Homo-oligomer: A and B are copies of this chain.
Amino acid sequence: MKTKAFQDYYPDHLSHCYGCGKLNEHGYKIKTVWDGDETLSTFTPKSYHTAVPGFVYGGLIASLIDCHGTGSAAAAMYKKENREMDAEPSFRFLTGSLNVKYLKPTPIDCTLQIRGSIREISGKKVTVDVKVIANGDITATGEVVTIQVPDKYIKEIIKRVAK
């Protein structure tokens, strides 16, 4: 049986993200799973996700790190409480800050691995360290500081703009 990704547990109103929403037909549909104590996403860039020909543009790398980070934060919080990812009350995380270091050009013609490790869970804040790996090389690293927000708050802001 295929392992269910973190994002497969997101409810529909949280599944429209261009980075990781299963209902966003235009988006990247990033999927993240546990791999031991690390979290792992894989992503194959499109030929047009270029910085210069042959290499991935920095904005995609930042996007992958960001969505990987929020997904990993939610999964880490559920794991800490020893609960299934669809159990209530739900854990939802938004990005507070995103720091990316570009170490070398990231080749575009391969499947990227995005690996996260949970640095800290402190109250409603989860910090995730992320590496982007292409052909075995770490090409970028990231730090994602995520903040837990009540699902009620997210539903309210969606409702407000839908009016």
Determine which residue in A51, A95, A102 has the highest number of CB atoms from chain B within 10 A of its CB, and name it: A51
Picked from B48, B50, B95, the residue with its CB within 8 Å of the CB of A58 is B95
Contact between B17 and A51 (Cβ–Cβ < 8 Å)?
yes
Contact between A161 and B55 (Cβ–Cβ < 8 Å)?
yes
Interface of A is mostly: mixed
Contact between B13 and A53 (Cβ–Cβ < 8 Å)?
yes
Number of copies of this kind of chain in the complex: 2
A154 to chain B: which residues have CB within 8 Å?
Answer: 52
A16 to chain B: which residues have CB within 8 Å?
Answer: 50-53
Q: Which segment of A60-68, A80-88, A113-121, A123-131 sits at the interface?
A: A60-68
* Distance between Cα atoms of A161 and B62 in the complex (Å): 23
Contact between A62 and B100 (Cβ–Cβ < 8 Å)?
yes
A158 to chain B: which residues have CB within 8 Å?
Answer: 52-54
Contact between B54 and A19 (Cβ–Cβ < 8 Å)?
no
Q: Return the chain B residue nearest A69 by Cβ.
A: B58
How far apart are A156's CB and chain B's nearest CB, in angstroms? 11
Q: A94 interface residue, CB < 8 Å from B? A: yes
